[in-house]
Amino acid sequence: MEAIITAAIGAAVKLVELIFLGTKSKDLSQDEIDREIKRIADKEQSLVDKWWNIVK
Amino acid sequence: MKTASAVCSAAMFCMLGSGCAGWKATTKTILADTHKAAKELSVVAEPAFDQKCSDVAHKCKAVKDTECKPLVDCEDQFKKFNRAVTAVHYLVATGYSLLALDARDSMISLVLKLGNTMKGLYALANEFGVISWKL
């Protein structure tokens, strides 16, 4: 009986974990990370161009 | 930074302990939070660098210094900072891949590296004067 309860609790915890991971994965995707990396690179280029245009 | 360190410490405790069944969920939260912190730091630092390097550029223009060595230095700092931010994002992306592979041991070393990279990022931001937080 105790083993069954333990297994049931374990399965429930696993289910909650899977649901949680599934939900969270929508919050931060590889695409989002790639977009942020690209945004940083684009912003860097535009600022550097802007600064050197001031000097010219 | 203290929050990030505390979160990373909690993640390490969880990952190293045998009784923590939700290590994946905890680690995923850490990765998302770290990504967010790096993104926010970047958004704060960009206008600060812009102000700082624009001021340098205007000073060079005033004395007709077209080579403007101080601007080269300022630009290098900005690029160094951006490389550190990008490194954090790549580590986070790698972390998600490790989660998918269920690679707990590799994840432990990645979280350690992520913590150190974040600490270095804040140190750079502090050193370059774009934030004034004390580590």
pLDDT at site A34: 92
pLDDT at site B49: 94
pLDDT band (50, 70, 90) for residue A23: very low
Closest residue to A43, CB basis, from B46, B75, B90: B46
| Rounded CA separation B60/A46 (Å) | 19
Place of tokens 């931010």: B85
> Taking an 8 Å Cβ-Cβ cutoff, which residues of chain A contact chain B?
10, 13-14, 17, 20-21, 24-25, 27-28, 30, 33-34, 36-37, 40-41, 43-44, 47-48, 50-52, 54-56
Place of tokens 């958004």: B43
- Percent of residues, chain A, with pLDDT higher than 90: 41
* Structure tokens, B32: 């998302």
Measured over the CA atoms of residue B94, residue B96, residue B98 and residue B103, the dihedral's sign is: positive
Place of tokens 């001021």: B55
Nearest CA in chain B to A50: B54
- Phi, psi at A28, each rounded to 5°: -140, 110
Average pLDDT in chain A: 75
- Residues of B with Cβ-Cβ distance to A40 under 8 angstroms: 42, 82, 85-86, 89
- Residues of A with Cβ-Cβ distance to B35 under 8 angstroms: 28, 33, 36
Q: What is the number of CB-based contacts under 8 A between chain A and chain B?
A: 78
- Residues of B with Cβ-Cβ distance to A36 under 8 angstroms: 35, 39, 42, 89
| Rounded CA separation B24/A51 (Å) | 44
Nearest CA in chain A to B50: A47
Q: What is the mean pLDDT of residues B93-101?
A: 91
